[in-house]
């Protein structure tokens, strides 16, 4: 069903807002969001690692906003409570997490009342060299819902498995943000857990991948990003994206 509305409380639909998700989410009306896809800040010392993700340091936008490790559970609990409130009963949420602070994410999801449907593993390629440990080349994606009888799930594959092998995209020579999800990964989630015209939300947009993929697949979107340079980058990226460009 296509959504004809243009506004959601104080927000314009199909827009990206620059600011703190913890504050902005409070202004989203309850039970209005169909799907949340988000890759929150991880509470790792990201500055030191930026080179690993992007070979060409000069093209990486500055200012990535991190959360101190000791505040990570409280931070997660705070935004997840709002996520639970704004999701429709038919809605679902996909949260990305590395393994470092995974226990905080899992505990916060449980404590807020989300029901975990799947613990998905995203396996990607990663060409770093390690001497005395294995190279981390996976991410966790927690697929959670409010109501396990009512959530939407379009079974677009016959045997949908919970290990997804999808390569990272390298944007050689282009301006970019330090973490960026592959479009193929976000599109897969959109196809399984939303329909055309649904409203998809990402409180931590970074470079705007969730909004871009939503627009491509004719879903509505709303997103927040706290770092002004990233927010501007995401807005430009979305405006350059054509709707219905699979
Ligand atoms: C892991 S990145 C998201 C990357 C994104 N999925 C992409 O594909 O580009 C997390 C983002 O959350 C932002 N962020 C951190 N704290 C925030 C807050 N309180 N409100 C909004 N954004 C925040 C960071 O600046 C960062 O861009």
**pLDDT tens digits, 161-175:** 999 999 988 766 666
* Cβ–ligand 1 contact at 220 (below 6 Å): no
pLDDT at 46 over 70: no
- Average pLDDT score over residue span 17-24: 97
pLDDT given at position 48: 37
Q: How far is the CA of 131 from the centre of ligand 1 (A)?
A: 31
Q: Is 73 helix (H, G, I), strand (E, B) or coil?
A: helix
Residue 243: pLDDT band with limits 50, 70, 90: confident
Task: For residue 156, give both structure tokens.
Answer: 């677009």
* Cβ–ligand 1 contact at 227 (below 6 Å): yes
Cβ atoms 233, 206 nearer than 8 A:
no
Q: What is the pLDDT of residues 26-44, one digit of tens each?
A: 999 999 999 999 999 986 5
pLDDT given at position 44: 55
Q: What is the pLDDT of residues 216-234, one digit of tens each?
A: 999 999 999 999 999 999 9
Q: Which segment of 45-54, 78-87, 105-114, 124-133 scores lowest on mean pLDDT?
A: 45-54
- How would you label 115-131 residue by residue, b for 16+ Cβ within 10 Å and e otherwise? eebeebebebeeeeeee
d(CA 104, CA 14): 31
**Bigger pLDDT: 8 vs 243:** 8
Phi, psi of 106 (to 5 degrees): -65, -45
Residue nearest to atom 8 of ligand 1 (CA): 180
The verdict on pTM exceeding 0.75 is: yes
At residue 217's C-alpha, the angle toward residues 209 and 183, to 5°, is 30
Q: Which domains does the chain have, with CATH numbers?
A: 7-240 (3.40.50.150)
DSSP letters for 113-139: T-EEEEEEEEE-------SSSPPP-EE
pLDDT given at position 51: 36
Which residue intervals of the chain are DSSP H helices? 21-24, 50-53, 72-86, 102-112, 183-193, 209-216, 228-240
Q: How far is the CA of 206 from the centre of ligand 1 (A)?
A: 4
Q: How far is the CA of 177 from the centre of ligand 1 (A)?
A: 10
d(CA 14, CA 222): 5
Q: What's the chain's average pLDDT?
A: 88
Q: Using alpha carbons only, how large is the chain's radius of gyration in Å?
A: 17
Residue nearest to atom 16 of ligand 1 (CA): 65
Minimum-distance ligand 1 atom for the alpha carbon of 181:
8
Residue 3: pLDDT band with limits 50, 70, 90: very low
Q: What is the pLDDT of residues 139-197, one digit of tens each?
A: 999 999 999 999 999 999 999 999 999 998 876 666 666 578 999 999 999 999 999 99
């Amino acid at each position: 069903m296509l959504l004809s509305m243009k506004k959601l409380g104080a927000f314009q639909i199909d827009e990206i807002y620059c600011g703190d998700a913890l504050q902005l989410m409070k202004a989203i009306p309850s039970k209005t969001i169909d799907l949340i896809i988000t890759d929150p800040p991880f509470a790792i010392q990201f500055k030191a690692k930026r080179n690993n993700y992007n070979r060409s340091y000069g093209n990486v936008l500055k200012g990535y906003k991190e959360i101190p490790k000791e505040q990570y559970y409280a931070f997660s609990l705070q935004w997840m409570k709002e996520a639970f409130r704004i999701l429709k009963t038919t809605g679902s949420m996909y949260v990305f997490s590395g393994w470092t602070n995974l226990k905080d994410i899992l505990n916060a999801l449980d404590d807020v009342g989300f029901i975990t449907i799947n613990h998905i593993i995203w396996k990607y390629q990663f060409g770093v060299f390690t001497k005395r440990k294995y190279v981390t080349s996976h991410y966790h994606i927690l697929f959670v819902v409010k109501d396990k009888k009512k959530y939407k799930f379009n079974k677009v594959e016959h045997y949908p498995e919970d290990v997804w092998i999808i390569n990272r995209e390298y944007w050689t020579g282009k301006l970019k943000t330090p973490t960026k999800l592959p479009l193929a990964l976000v599109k897969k989630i959109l196809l399984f857990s939303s329909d055309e015209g649904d409203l998809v939300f990402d409180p931590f947009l970074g470079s705007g991948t969730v909004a871009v993929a939503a627009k491509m697949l004719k879903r509505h979107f709303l997103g927040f990003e706290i770092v002004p340079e990233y927010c501007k980058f995401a807005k430009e990226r979305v405006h350059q994206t054509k709707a219905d460009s699979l």
